[in-house]
Amino acid sequence: MTARIGVVTFPGSLDDRDTQRAIRVAGAEPVTLWHKDKALKQVDAVVLCGGFSYGDYLRAGAIARFSPVMDTVIDQAKAGLPVLGICNGFQILTEAHLLPGGMLGNDHLHFICRDQKLRVENADTAWTTDYEAGQEIHIPLKNMDGRYVADQRTLDELEAEGRVAFRYLGFNPNGSLNDIAGITNAAGNVVGLMPHPEHAVESLIGTGRTDGLPFFTSILKKLVTA
């Protein structure tokens, strides 16, 4: 049976189609989920895609966190459902308290769009097993509110528990503390990151690299062997 991975669309989502395509390229079935519907259509995993949900009013992800679908996503994530938050999706995960910390405006106060070098710090999550710890990859980055922040106690816990999933290399594009580009929850089923792996799954488009594809093959293998 083909794994079914849901992609949530909020008002202002931009990358839902790209994410669906990445899932299809990896060999899974993408399932469209609408933010007003609580039902997850029996999917095996969920991706909260990038964009500017609700125009980033109040704070990026702050309104989307209260969409009906998130009630179900939160409950299921706590029960072990794999959830990936990309860019705006990462922001939503922090607003929903599925991941600690928060996102602020880039320290240079400008939107940034670039091919970003990352180091894989944790290759043991549901979304990263096809990487190796210490591996260096290039993933497109595009955001205005990408500065990851947390209190010192939270940062110390993330570092001590190996929950920093990805770290910026060579250049910190937004002022994120500890050069954090992505984190995971303690169980490893919820991962959030600011760069966009769905834009790096085919060599003929985007960056010309496929460094983002392992996100989607990792979860596929996880679901097949579960």
Active-site residues: which are they? 87, 196, 198
Name every residue whose Cβ is closer than 8 Å to that of residue 219 and which is 6 or more positions away in sequence. 3, 5, 28, 45, 82, 84, 126, 127
Round to whole Å and give the CA distance between 132 and 128.
8
Whether the CB-CB separation of 131 and 118 falls below 8 Å is answered with no
Helices (H), the chain: 16-26, 68-78, 88-95, 152-160, 213-225
Q: Which residues of 145-182 are buried (b: 16+ CB within 10 A; e: fewer)?
A: bbbbebeeebbeebeeeebbbbbbeeebbbebbebbbb
Whether the CB-CB separation of 8 and 46 falls below 8 Å is answered with yes
Query: Up-side HSE of residue 207: CA atoms within 13 Å toward CB?
Result: 22
Round to whole Å and give the CA distance between 21 and 190.
21
Helix (H) or strand (E) holding 65: none
**Three-class DSSP category at 26:** helix
Helices (H), 4-128: 16-26, 68-78, 88-95
